[in-house]
Every structure is written in C-alpha cells, then in structure tokens.
Amino acid sequence: MDRRTRALGLLLVTLWLSSCGTTAPWYRGSAPSVSSSAHDGESRNASAKPEPAVRAEYDRFKDDTHLYTRPSDVAGSASLALSLHAYLHGNRTRLAKHETPLLLLGFSSRSEDSSSLEPQSCIFLIDGRSRLDLGYGSRGTRSSTDASDVLTFDVTRPIVETLLGATRIEGRLGATEFTVAPQQLAPFRELLTMIRAVEDSS
C-alpha cells in the first residue's frame, strides 16, 4: 500500500511539473542563462554602432568646425599614431566651391613620455623614391573634447592625395622611423570626400 501511494505521489508530481512547463518559479530561477546572455550580447552588438572613422566638432565660440580621423598606429613605433585634421569656418562640413581647406597631419603619442611630440621635422619617402618634406611641426591639442597633445604639420590636398596613392609609405619624425600601411589611410580619403564641395563632387 505504501509503495502504491508513493508511486502515485511521484506520478502526480511529475504530471504537475510537466503541466507547469517553464512557468514554474523554480525553473525560471535555475534555468541556465547562457542562451539569454548570448541573445543579450547579440542584441547589444547589433545595436552598438561602430565608431565613425571621421568625427566633426563645432566650436560655437570660434565659429569653426573641426573634422578629424581617429589616430591610427604606425608600424615601427610603439607610441606614435597618425591622423588627419581639417578646419572649416562656420558650422558646416562642406567646402564652398574652389575653397581651399586648412589641412593638418597630426602625430599623437600613446606614451606618457611626450618628447616625441616636441617640434621636429617630418619626411615621408613614397614608394622608395619620392620625398615629401613637411618641415617642422607645431604642438597643439587633438580636439576640443580631447586635451591630449598632438604634433601637427600643415599639408595641402595634393600632399594627402600623394599619400593616398602610394603603395609603400615610409616616414621619419625627428629620429624615429616608421611605416604606414596604405589601407590605414582609408579614413583620410573619407574625410576628403566628406568636405568636398557639392559642386566639385561631380
């Protein structure tokens, strides 16, 4: 009689649990969270937007717009990173027709020792034969929201386009030699395309 009662009790418990399904409180509390966290991660990755290659900041006090690329590490140096900057007067990101933009090539340092950003010369060797001597740079800040130092060199659009058209780029900043992979400069092309005057786009 005891065995029958126990068997009947187990059967009733089993039937009750199966009818509860995933709504049973103990099931929700002990259910593995792997799939849930995986879905959360997927949704976060899907909703997270990639960081833009080119940023724009408007300074309402100076009434100018600063466009710049993310710093890209150069090979051969543990701390140097390269970026391109453009300044346009007013709150805009497009040039007027035939307007010449103010372009700056910037070197920033990830090292606490900022001696590499002291005013010094920069020379690029393009495809092993052509040389671009940028002269001496001047020290400034990367952006209004980033107070880190950057050593900048005045450049023209043809100079930037020469870098973009190169298959091998070697450089020397002061006594530090480095190389730049051409694909690293893709954001430079994006910046030039962004600021190009609408009339000059065709």
- Give whole-number Cα distances, 78 to 106, 110, 178, in Å: 16, 8, 10
Query: pLDDT (tens digit, 9 = 90+) per residue, 71-127?
Result: 999 998 878 999 999 999 999 999 999 899 899 999 998 776 556 678 899 999 999
Confidence grade of residue 4 (pLDDT, cut at 50, 70, 90): low
Stretch 24-36: mean pLDDT, rounded? 32
Per-position b or e across 135-144, b if 16+ CB within 10 A of its CB: eebeeeebbe
170: β partners: 125, 179
* Alpha helical stretches, state H, the chain: 2-20, 25-30, 34-47, 157-164, 186-195
pLDDT of 66 over the 60 cut: yes
Chain mean pLDDT for the chain: 78
Given a cut of 90, whether residue 156 has pLDDT beyond it is yes
Q: How confident is the model at residue 193 (pLDDT cuts 50, 70, 90)?
A: very high
Domain boundaries, the chain: 2-47, 54-200
pLDDT grade, residue 172 (50/70/90)? very high
Q: Check: CB of residue 104 under 8 Å from CB of residue 97.
A: no
pLDDT digits (tens, 9 = 90+) for 142-152: 555 554 678 99
Residue closest to 100 by CA, chosen among 111, 86, 110: 86
Question: pTM for this structure?
Answer: 0.70
